[in-house]
Structure 1
Amino acid sequence: MKTNPGRFFEDYQVGEVITHAVPRTISGGERALYHALYPARHAVYSSDEFAKSVGLVASPVDDLLAFHVVFGKTVPDISLNAVANLGYAEGRWLRPVFAGDTLKAQSTVIGVKENSSGATGVVWVRTVGVNQRDEPVLDFVRWVMVKKRRREVEVLTVVPELATSVPADWLVVPSGLDFSSYDFALAGERHRWGDYAVGEVIDHVDGVTVEEAEHMLATRLWQNTSKVHFDVSQREDGRRLIYGGHVISMARALSFNGLANAQIIVALNGGTHASPCFAGDTVRAWSQVLDRAETGAPGVGALRLRLVATKGAAGALRDAGGKYLPDVLLDLDYWVLVPI
């Protein structure tokens, strides 16, 4: 058999290292397409001249674009037979990615746990993305629910211990970054690090209705081959499940209105895809400030933010019993760099 049906839950062993196929060279065209798919407007990722003015050699590609490329490399080996991608932890962006860089990825299986149904199980992996110089550009943990091939096969449970958040002193500020001469007018808003209070909720106001063609185009762009995003026969309801990363990028882009100076993502503390997203859903976003930290870089502070993608109202997250409200699509916890 020359074709690859993908791995099933019982095919994973804790400690196994998986080198993912097909390195990917990033082009400037890919950045332009990213900005066509999402209303992304953060200045560092839009202008070489603005990026140079804050100490970078050029405008990098969006942090989430780099994340999607690395994530996409893992799909044929980790989540081709996934039911759903469940969450993230301990993610860090370690250096910027520029047009011309080539990314590849490797994952280590760090946990497995069969579900009570016996039909699926959860697999945890730690993934590292590196550039053409074998320099790590990001790493993260994710866990995914995967179908079992044979119910009778028993798998020894190993659940990894994961940090609840990335400590502020673990954040990696890009080399040379300097916000001391930051141009707030060109960036689009005047709000500084000190203008944000812990606990503050920001309604990003705008919404975007997701179209079938756009989410499939985006997912193909990342070479994500998970069947549930393209093949209507994979779900009982006959619908294509929208890649969770599409929702993340949409919410992040919408957050520009109120967080235009939240320029560079440096860590992913955690994330939950609370409900599935389908074509025709209108995605809105709101943020909550969870923490603030100083960095050693001139003029650069860090904000820890909760980013929520929802079909409902800003500020609404859970019901009285602590469960996510049905309109909530995404609950993401991340660190971002802003000017002081």
Structure 2
Amino acid sequence: MKILVSGASVAGPALAYWLHRHGFDCTVVERATSLRDSGHAVDFRGEALAVLDRMGVLEAVRAHDTAMGDATLIDREGRGYATLPAVIFAGELEILKGDLTRILHQATQEFTEYVFGDSIAVLEQSADGVRVTFDSGRVRDFDLVVGADGLHSNTRGLVFGREDRFVRHLGIYSAIFSTDNYLGLKNTGWLYSVPDRAVNIFSARDSTEVRVALHFASGPLEYNRHDVTEHKRIVAEHFAGTGWEVPGLLRAMAAADDVYFAANAQVVMDRWHDGRVVLLGDAGYCAAPTSGRGTSQALIGAYVLAGELAAADGRHTEAFAAYEREMRGFVDEHQRVGREWAQRYFIDSLTQETIDAAVAAATQGGTDELVTLREYSLADR
């Protein structure tokens, strides 16, 4: 079977790996002209680590571990008042998203056709397959199409309808970028919060740089998602007059060339497949960054989707239904956590009770117990 996957971030390459292991032929198309390097760190725990291990990339991921220690909570006067244990925000293993994307690409490029700088324009389903017309004008036929193209999934829009039917805004926008480590942080971070605004700063790449995240509360905004200059202006306006280190961080953002700006939102759908098209990861069930589990969902979802296709011998209707049954409870709980933490995001100061509860949730398994990785038989490659 020939399967087209839209999106080359995390979910797409992870799925490409498992499709190949199960004997399927995979093409990955990516709108960007190269691998994306922007974004903050992502973390893993529980079954997500097991997926990385089964893919044979766990040690490569560990080699890029941020080795992040505890972070300091900063009050509005700029003074540290509490410590946030690393297990809450860094899980059992943390890596920059750009590093993870490169590792997954390297692990799959030998047997996966990657097409950069193109995107799906038209999908025409039939009883025998899907005819795909790309933005470049090329037309190709596939047996199945997988949308792994994120919160603003183009695939979802073409097949399931308008974005506003499925995307639930959580009232938070975030801008993430990197800059020189002029603050001198060493394997640690600072978290600063005032009403409706928050700043996270973490050292990265052996403390040679820092990754900065500027968050602000807002209802849905109208803006061009591809206009970085506009993104910087929006963030600067919302943080105008904020004290502490913020003025210097805004100057750093103005000079940064890797600013990533997006809403914290969830994708809520009754079903993730339609005919021969299925959604994976954020495209179908984004839990929002406030859940802290989006990357884990993508990895586990890729493993389950490919495994169910193999178990059903390529019978997509049966496989897609089984994939949804396996993942639905896991996703629902992650989305609940995402909504809950979005409501707490701009608390002026965290109490020790809240911190202790977060540590307990992070170390007692929690949502990881809602999914168990099945052993799917692999094709004889």
**Structure 1 and Structure 2 fold alike (TM over 0.5):** no
Q: Pick the structure with more helix per residue.
A: 2
TM-score in terms of structure 1 length: 0.29
TM-score in terms of structure 2 length: 0.26
Q: Pick the structure with more strand per residue.
A: 1
